[in-house]
């Protein structure tokens, strides 16, 4: 018997969320809010990335934003919608991921995005300047965590 389309989507979302939830402490209400978000803000995204990367002394989204402020373009507001290339750089830096020659030399958002594409952490049709949904953010974090477990 084929799965009901809605059930299949729920099952896929649960398979994405369970590894992320087990990696760091975040409550179910936060996950529900994130999954229903069409475009996450830098505050939301950076806080979640740093929690997943187990960065210590980050107690709230504002502290997380301030922690990685040097990576963001000048004038970036915490409530701006997050762009994929900037979040790629935050992911690479937060998880202390090594990159190719261009990323190693430049350490910028363009090459971080390209590195995550190359590693298949970011999949599908994407654009570096696209806004990231909550579901996509959880997917990317889950892929990074899965790759780190494979290395260990």
Arithmetic mean of pLDDT over the chain: 87
For the beta carbon of residue 102, count every other beta carbon within 10 angstroms: 13
Report the Cα–Cα distance between both ends of the chain, in Å, rounded: 38
Residues 41-98 have pLDDT tens digits of: 999 999 999 999 999 888 888 999 999 999 999 999 999 999 999 999 999 999 999 9
> Nearest 5 degrees, angle CA 63-CA 67-CA 69?
110
Give me the pLDDT at residue 120, please: 95
Q: How confident is the model at residue 151 (pLDDT cuts 50, 70, 90)?
A: low
Return the domain boundaries, the chain: 5-151
Give me the pLDDT at residue 152, please: 57
CA-to-CA separations, 68 to 65, 124, 125, in angstroms, rounded: 6, 27, 27
Distance, CA of 34 to CA of 43 (rounded, Å): 12
Give me the pLDDT at residue 5, please: 57
Which residues have a Cβ under 8 Å from the Cβ of 6 and sit 6 or more positions away? none
């Amino acid at each position: 018997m084929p799965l009901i389309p809605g059930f299949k989507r729920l099952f896929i979302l649960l398979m994405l969320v369970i590894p992320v939830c087990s990696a760091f402490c975040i409550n179910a209400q936060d996950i529900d809010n994130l999954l229903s978000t069409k475009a996450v803000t830098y505050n939301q995204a950076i806080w979640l990335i740093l929690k997943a990367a187990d960065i210590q002394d980050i107690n709230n989204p504002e502290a997380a934003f301030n922690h990685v402020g040097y990576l963001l373009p000048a004038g970036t507001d915490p409530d701006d919608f997050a762009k994929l290339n900037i979040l790629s750089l935050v992911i690479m830096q937060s998880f202390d991921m090594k990159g190719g020659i261009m990323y190693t030399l430049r350490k910028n958002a363009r090459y971080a995005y390209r590195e995550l594409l190359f590693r298949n952490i970011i999949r599908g049709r994407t654009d570096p300047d696209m806004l990231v949904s909550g579901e996509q953010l959880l997917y990317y974090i889950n892929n990074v965590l899965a790759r780190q477990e494979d290395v260990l």
